[in-house]
Amino acid sequence: MRIIVTGATGFVGQAAIAHLREAGHDVLAATRRVAPCAAPVRVVGDIDSHTDWGAHLDGVDCVIHLAARVHVMHDSNGLEAYREVNTRGTQQLAESAARAGVRRFVYLSSAKVVGESSGSSVFSDASPAAPTDPYAASKHEAEIALQQVTAQSGMEVCILRPPLVYGPGVRANFLRLLRWIDRGIPLPFGVVRNARSLVALDNLANAITVCATHPRAAGQTFLVADSEPLSTPELIRRLATALDRPARLVPVPPAALRFAGRLTGKTAEIDRLLGNFRVDSAGIRTALDWQPPVSSDKALALTAAWYREQHPKQ
């Protein structure tokens, strides 16, 4: 099967290409500019409402669309900047793919489409959309655009909604947490009692690969996550074990942490560390007979090993 992957040089893209090639697929990489990649590169420039896909989709059976304007804390560019890439860019690609005769389109959305906190419940594939920021809103609008394209063309669309993705090469807050643990910095989450779903990079890449070909993936929208949610202190303990460092957890009351968050303008960050975000991925497991191939402990160990290679223990 011939598959083209957007966002091919990114964190998820590189892992997806490795899994797809291992599964025997002929993979092309769509990139903004010439860059080293494990698959033949097709330079398409910026992905937005004006992207000319030209002959890049000729002979392609499946598009896996991973490229996106990502959620950045304190991003001041507004909803329109996200819409141009995530919504209109996705629609432009999907319409081009349908005209080129592409059979399957796999779109990487986000679990944030259904909300920012699951509270005392658990998000499922049937949960209504409730995006709370421009990134999630643009992703939801892209999902709607894809449904319209498939209704008009018959192209098969499968949408995946992952929570936080971690693994070798991870950046942003997860990498910051690794650094704090490695440096022995006391972390004030000792009495936090929450549950947050995550998805390991290899598990997500495997799910993407399955959705590219499985007959029952057509027309589906799936939440995809590891087998078990983790509390913030449990995540810290497991990472500390993998890094061979002590878990320095200080028992600070969550109310005090939230107050500190308001004082420092970091309410959203604190809420993510204290709140629940549980997703039920029973849909993809039942429909596609899919199981995460890597356990949380194994994935966290691989992540820690990668970090240790980059930052040798002193």
Task: Look at residue 312 and tell me if it is in a domain.
Answer: no
Encode pLDDT of 197-208 as tens digits: 999 999 999 999
CB atoms within 10 A of CB 218: 15
Task: Look at residue 175 and tell me if it is in a domain.
Answer: no
Give the range of the structural domain holding residue 215, as residue numbers without chain letter.
2-166+199-226+277-293
| Catalytic residue annotation | 135
Q: Are 20 and 5 in contact (CB under 8 A)?
A: yes
Predicted pLDDT at 106: 98
Task: Look at residue 107 and tell me if it is in a domain.
Answer: yes
CB atoms within 10 A of CB 282: 13
Task: Look at residue 7 and tell me if it is in a domain.
Answer: yes
Task: Look at residue 21 and tell me if it is in a domain.
Answer: yes
> Does residue 77 carry a pLDDT above 70?
no
Task: Look at residue 93 and tell me if it is in a domain.
Answer: yes
- Name the pTM for this structure: 0.95
Q: How many domains does the chain have?
A: 1
Q: Which of 123, 133, 10, 112 is nearest to 65 (CA)?
A: 10
Q: How confident is the model at residue 71 (pLDDT cuts 50, 70, 90)?
A: low
Predicted pLDDT at 214: 98
Task: Look at residue 258 and tell me if it is in a domain.
Answer: no
Task: Look at residue 232 and tell me if it is in a domain.
Answer: no
> Does residue 210 carry a pLDDT above 70?
yes
For residue 65, what is the domain's CATH number? 3.40.50.720
Average pLDDT of the segment spanning 81-86: 95
